[in-house]
Amino acid sequence: MQLLRIVTIGNVDDGKSTFIGRLLYDSHAILSDTLAELELASPSQQQKLSTPFNLALLTDGLKAERAQGITIDVAYRFFTARLSQASQLSQVKERKFIIIDAPGHAKYTKNMVTGASQAEVALLLVDVTKELNEQTLRHLQIIQLMGLRQLVVCINKMDLVQYSQSHFENLKQKIIKLLNTEIKTSVSFFPISAVLGDNITSLSQNTPWYQGPCVLDFLVEIEASSLAKSSERAFCLPVQGLITAQDGEPLYCGSLIGGSVQVQDEVLIFPSQVAAKIKSIETYDGSLLTAPAGKAVALKLDLTLDKSLDNKSLDKSIAIKRGDYIVAKRAGLNSAMLNLHIRQGRRAEADIIWLGEEKLQPQQQFLLRKNTFECRCKITENFLPANEIGRVIIYAEQELVYQAFSEDKDMGAAILIDEKTNLTVAAVMFRGI
Amino acid sequence: MVNYLEQLESEAIYILREVAAQFKKPVLLFSGGKDSIVLSRLCEKAFRPGAFPFPLLMIDTGHNFAETLDYIQLRMAQLNEKLIIASVQQSIDAGRAQEETGPEASRNRLQSITLMDAINGHGFDAVIGGARRDEEKARAKERIFSLRDSLGSWHPEAQRAELWNIYNGRLAAATSEHMRVFPLSNWTELDIWQYIQRENLSVPGLYFAHRRLCLRRQNMLLAYSEFVPRQATDEQVELLVRFRTLGDMTCTAAFESTASTFAEVIAEIKVSQRTERGSRLDDKRSDAAMEERKKEGYF
């Protein structure tokens, strides 16, 4: 069964939490004891609505959120759904979802960015009765920059404009104009009412002019291929740590990104660029001949391959440690697939989303963490205020090993940590320049 | 690409290895319940053939199910790792905690005191637990690396950004801040059982249908025990029951079930109209019971 992770975005009060509540309620993903609990927690004027409780309470789980009626931090909800028209096509399609309810309030943008970093699809809620505002634009910029390739736009509160098609089209065109056309994003639009349930888990009688599927069917059917990062590439293993095999040899632990590994694969270690070969792939369940992308493994290496190393220098340069990268150099593949895209250097250009409360200061020093690697760095002069996006040059104390974020999220993402507060203050997306 | 359970497994192993690399003195909470059983297998996958880079810690309320204690002994013999037991009774004897009184007395809340004393006493800087986001609405809000201040408090309004799978485990020097780490955050109850089945892990027999003397109290079935204070309206019944979640005897309710294999348990959960923690009396004390306890250091 395929998994889809969706983050809801949009301005505060445009109905994100209500939408999720409606989606879960109408797809029968709320169990009866939770319903009873929610009815008790809902205000008494609830009866005018078509659900017995306040839908937003389902994800607004913190006391402060319930008291203020807004979402402060990300909530994760899990559910499984199938197509509403089960007779369609071949077999019944079913899908597992993690739906990430992100706060709309500008003050909590760092939490929205946290949610977006975990998702493949962004679901934007916009209020049809209001003008588009800065916060909606900011969220759109963030999700495009963070590489979410699929955007589902729910134009909400259609009941308040008598389900008018012209209102819908008008807002749709405005949103299309806000998107950055340099970043490829597929966009779909849905006329909905989260409070009343129109076009969410079934098509509504109120919008006869709307020809597309309901939101849930669309989400069940999104092709995994449109979300996949790209086709199979050469693998890379960011080294997490070392354990000792029973024979006393070191095992390099980590999770594979990019592609699969096979015994006998030739590899290069970054940043030392020492050549080696995969001797064996070890897991708790036994040795493997091959392991797929995503799997947590431990690799045994043959380091006698690099003839340029005499025995003396060998000891030093092969001290492979946490933060290094073991990268495939697979025979038979076009060399452009190999290490061409891996960049190495102390200076790198990147887009950042600044999450600190204070403005970014010139020459400010940070800890940069990327995969399992960490070193100090400085950022070029730039006075980014909180929650703003900027393009910067990073000067690192050690060699950075990275790819462009647009080519590979796993190899192109990093964070900045403020050493004084230990807070994570920026999302970093390396550029391929 | 790996399948869904393998994806969850690899994510959890990655998190466990990050804990081993980023902290000086981590500890793994081990209650003998299904989530900590899964964690113990994931640690084997992350660190064997080596030893675990941290000990296990059990918070003993003194009101345990005998079956859970037997199970812990069995699993520890398989693992051959160090187990530290921190006892609520000792916290009470030392005057650190005060026993609750009254008809609903439970040591559930006192566990936070015992846990915090153990963390401070041993100087643990990371505490790995089996909490899942699908269990409860406050847990649905929590980060995988979740900071606790020197008093053990969670500050839900001030959580750090947590981006992609790059975990920030930094703690302020010269304070006793620590990190709670939840490698099973993205697992559901169903995932846990499917994984236990796939790995063929043994679990306490309490999770399967068995005949038990119970006290019926409102719509709850409590295990008949010297630790559970009787109420006048309690009705004594012997029924075929099982447990869906295991706390101590005072806060965990059973329910009628005939499910006696992994497959039957999984089938039952799939159609259940009740949530997993619906049988936890500790969550029922107020609407925000979990959030309030988490602010006191609860896991």
Cα R_g (chain A), whole angstroms: 25
Nearest to B49 among A63, A246, A295 (CB): A246
Question: A415 contacts in B (CB within 8 Å)?
Answer: 161, 163-164, 166, 168
Q: Which structure tokens are listed for A49?
A: 């609505």
B270 in contact with A, Cβ within 8 Å: no
Residue B208, both tokens:
């399967």
Give the Cβ contact number of residue B98 at 10 Å: 10
pTM: 0.93
What tokens appear for A193 in the block? 């009412």
A286 alpha-carbon distance from chain centroid? 32
For B83, the token pair is 């187990």
Q: Which residues pair with A214 in a beta bridge?
A: none
d(CA A98, CA A101): 10
Contact residues, B window 159-198, toward A, CB-based 8 Å cutoff: 159-164, 166, 168, 170-172, 185-186, 188
| CA A151, chain centre distance (Å) | 13
* Rounded CA separation B30/B41 (Å): 12
Q: How many CB atoms lie within 10 A of CB A89?
A: 10
Work out the number of other CB atoms within 10 angstroms of the CB of residue B122.
14
d(CA A121, CA A201): 18
Query: Would you call A254 an interface residue with chain B, using a CB distance cutoff of 8 Å?
Result: yes
From chain B residues 72-131, the ones with a CB under 8 A of any chain A CB are none
Closest of A401, A400, A378, A381 to residue A390, by C-alpha: A381
ipTM of the complex in this document: 0.91
CA distance to partner chain B, nearest, from residue A324 (Å): 14
Distance (Å) of CA B254 to CA A2, B93, B185, B219: 33, 30, 25, 11
| CB–CB contact A113 B185 (8 Å) | no
Q: Which residue of A has its CA nearest to B53?
A: A243
Listing DSSP states for B184-230 in one string gives: TTT--HHHHHHHHHHHT----GGGS-EEEEEEEETTEEEEP-TTS--
B215: which strand partners? B222, B236
What is A310-361 written as a DSSP string? -HHHHHHHT---TT-EEEE--TTS-GGGTTTT-EEEEEEEEEEEE--SSPPP
> Does B183 or A23 have the greater pLDDT score?
B183
pLDDT by residue, tens only, chain B of 299 residues:
568 899 999 999 999 999 999 999 999 999 999 999 999 999 999 999 999 999 999 999 888 899 999 999 999 999 999 999 999 888 888 888 888 887 777 888 888 889 999 999 999 999 999 999 988 888 889 999 999 998 899 998 889 999 999 999 999 987 889 999 999 999 999 999 999 999 999 999 999 999 999 989 888 888 888 888 888 888 899 999 999 988 888 888 889 999 999 999 999 988 887 887 777 777 766 777 788 887 777 77
Q: How many angstroms separate the CA atoms of A377 and A380, rounded? A: 10
Residues in A 55-84 with any Cβ partner in B closer than 8 A: 58-59, 61-64, 72-78
Q: Letter for the amino acid at A303?
A: L
Q: Token pair of A139, please?
A: 């969220």
Q: Please give, rounded to a whole number of angstroms, the shortest distance from the CA of A415 to a CA of chain B.
A: 7
Nearest to A61 by CA among B171, B217, B134, B83: B134
The answer to whether B164 contacts A31, with C-beta atoms less than 8 Å apart, is no
| Neighbouring residues of B22: CB distance < 8 A, sequence distance ≥ 6 | B126, B167, B169
Task: Give the pLDDT of residue A334.
Answer: 45
Q: Could you give the C-alpha distances from B240 to A325, B215, B217, B237, B297, in angstroms and in order?
A: 55, 13, 17, 10, 36
What's the pLDDT band for A337 if we cut at 50, 70, 90? very low
CB contact under 8 Å between A118 and B288, yes or no, is no
Res A88 pLDDT > 80: no
Q: What span, in angstroms and rounded, lies between the C-alpha atoms of B17 and B258?
A: 39
Residue B78: its chain A contacts at CB < 8 A?
A: none
- Rounded CA gap, B214 and B237, in Å? 5
Calculate the dihedral angle through the C-alpha atoms of A405, A407, A408, A412, rounding to the nearest 10 degrees: -30
Three-state DSSP class for B108?
coil
